[in-house]
Amino acid sequence: MKPEKIMVRLALVLLVGATALAGAASAQAATQSEFEAAYRAATEAEQKASALRNQWTPTEAALEAAAKAAAAKDYGTAMDLARRAEALAEASVEQAKEQDKLWQNAVLK
Amino acid sequence: MKVAIATIGRRAAACLVLLLALVLPPASAEQRIDPAADQRAFQAYFRQAFPSVALNDFANGPYAVDKDMRKQWEEIMQFPPYDFALEDGKKLFETPFKNGKTYADCFPQKGIGIRQNYPYFDRQTGEVVTLDLAINRCREQNGETPLPYQVGDMAAIDAYMASTSRGKPFAIALPADPRAFAAYEKGKKFFYERRGQLNFSCASCHVQAAGKRLRGDILAPALGILASFPIYRSDWGSMGTVDRRFISCNDQVRSVAFKPEDELYRDLEYFLSYMSNGVAIAGPGTRP
């Protein structure tokens, strides 16, 4: 398998994994500190996407919604959203890294 | 004397080639930056995909490639909806700043008939300068506040300046300067790389799907895609600049858009305009 393909598969596996984790965590109603850790991780991933100049709007929306839910002390929802934001941010970072080479294949020749 | 100058010229050229070789990524055959070849391939692709469309007609975007839309357009053009902006723009362009100077003082040929040369690569600052950026720099040099980029007065001034350049083919220069080539290459990458959660590139829509329908729209071919700017879009209910269009196209694929006149947008505009060299300016334009 080409390295790009492996990376795509890996990203997908991570995405599915993160979503499953998010579901499990929210079932036991997350605490504030758990939320804060998840939110920090999501923000850090989104900063990586920003440095690569490749942020996605749904990531930003999920981060914003997470902060809102946390402000309303709904840490379960906030945790889900933060995890979702992190998975999205990771996927956008992956996209930027892949496209850094793959774009060449699309050039009209 | 003549001989001496010629020798210096040749030496300078040799140095430049050497410099390019050092600065540019190691040249595997595919990676070498050859904008002239890119341009030929780009134009050939669209000429082949739309054999009945004349080169200058590509400026008309969706109307060039769809017969039904073309009819609607011919009706609209009896009273072009950009006429108000055009009148406003002329007034704004001619009204002196507080210091008594005008826009004409900032531009070659007093700003008349020059739209086809923008964006250009400024060798002093090492960056791409679009017409809109030049308009705001002119204002700032004369003690005025810069205009917002996407709509309003900026679009109106663009409309007037474009109207004085109608019929003049895009003539974007690529100076033999490694920084200009780097800017070009960044714009080219932006055009072809997939972005956003929907994983589309500009090319996905404006090359591969050009002429096809996306929801209510016919997708404009990328050749000549900026030649009618600024445009009045019925969908917007107002005029919009190139920045406005780039931002909304990024947003459509769920990619966080950049600020107007971001370096990436300027490089993208440079690339797209260079690809369209030879297509005559037709702005301001009108769109569904």
Cβ of B250: how many Cβ atoms within 10 Å? 20
Average confidence (pLDDT) over B10-26:
48
All CATH 1.10.760.10 domain ranges of chain B, comma separated, are 54-79+169-287, 84-163
Q: Name the least confident of A10-14, A53-57, B138-142, B283-287.
A: A10-14
Higher-confidence residue: B247 or A5?
B247
Q: How far is A87 from chain B (nearest CA, A)?
A: 12
Q: Is B218 helix (H, G, I), strand (E, B) or coil?
A: strand
DSSP B55: G
**Encoding tokens for residue A34?**
């758990």
The per-residue pLDDT for B20 is 46
**Do the Cβ atoms of A107 and B192 come within 8 Å?**
yes
Could you report the per-residue pLDDT of A13-57, keeping only the tens digit for each? 445 445 545 555 444 578 999 999 999 999 999 999 999 999 999
**Do the Cβ atoms of B195 and A99 come within 8 Å?**
yes
Tell me the CATH architecture of domain B54-79+169-287: Orthogonal Bundle (1.10)
Chain A, 49-108: which have a CB under 8 Å from a chain B CB? 53-58, 60, 88, 91-92, 95, 99-100, 102-104, 106-108
The per-residue pLDDT for A30 is 84
Reported as a pLDDT band with limits 50, 70 and 90, residue A8 is low
A84-A102-B227 Cα angle (round to 5) = 95
**Do the Cβ atoms of A92 and B197 come within 8 Å?**
yes
The per-residue pLDDT for A16 is 44
Average confidence (pLDDT) over A76-82:
97
Residue B199 φ/ψ region, left for φ over 0, alpha for ψ in the -120 to 50 degree band, beta for the rest: left
Is B162's pLDDT higher than 90? yes
The per-residue pLDDT for B13 is 52
- Told to judge if B138 belongs to the known catalytic residues of this protein, a careful annotator would answer no
Is B7's pLDDT higher than 70? no
Residue with tokens 């945790």: A79
The per-residue pLDDT for A54 is 98
Is B11's pLDDT higher than 70? no
Reported as a pLDDT band with limits 50, 70 and 90, residue B41 is very high
Q: Which helix (H) or strand (E) holds A32?
A: helix A32-51
The per-residue pLDDT for B3 is 46
Distance CA B157, CA B164 (A): 11
The per-residue pLDDT for B10 is 55
Q: Which amino acid is at A71?
A: A
**Is the separation of the CB atoms in B149 and B261 below 8 Å?**
yes
Distance CA B55, CA B77 (A): 21
DSSP conformation letters of A37-91: HHHHHHHHHHHHHHHTT--BHHHHHHHHHHHHHHHTT-HHHHHHHHHHHHHHHHH
Distance CA A16, CA B269 (A): 38
In chain B, % of residues over pLDDT 70: 89
**Do the Cβ atoms of B197 and A55 come within 8 Å?**
no
Tell me the CATH architecture of domain B84-163: Orthogonal Bundle (1.10)
Reported as a pLDDT band with limits 50, 70 and 90, residue B28 is very low
The per-residue pLDDT for B216 is 87
Q: Which residues is B121 bridged to in the sheet?
A: B128
Could you report the per-residue pLDDT of B68-114, keeping only the tens digit for each? 888 888 888 889 999 999 999 999 999 999 999 999 999 999 999 99
Cβ of A42: how many Cβ atoms within 10 Å? 24
Could you report the per-residue pLDDT of B169-226, keeping only the tens digit for each? 999 999 999 999 999 999 999 999 999 999 999 999 999 999 999 988 999 999 999 9
The per-residue pLDDT for B109 is 98
The per-residue pLDDT for A10 is 47
Distance CA B239, CA A60 (A): 28
- Partner residue facing B196 (CB), from A53, A56, A102: A56
Is B5's pLDDT higher than 90? no
Higher-confidence residue: A71 or B4?
A71
Reported as a pLDDT band with limits 50, 70 and 90, residue A2 is low
Model ipTM?
0.86
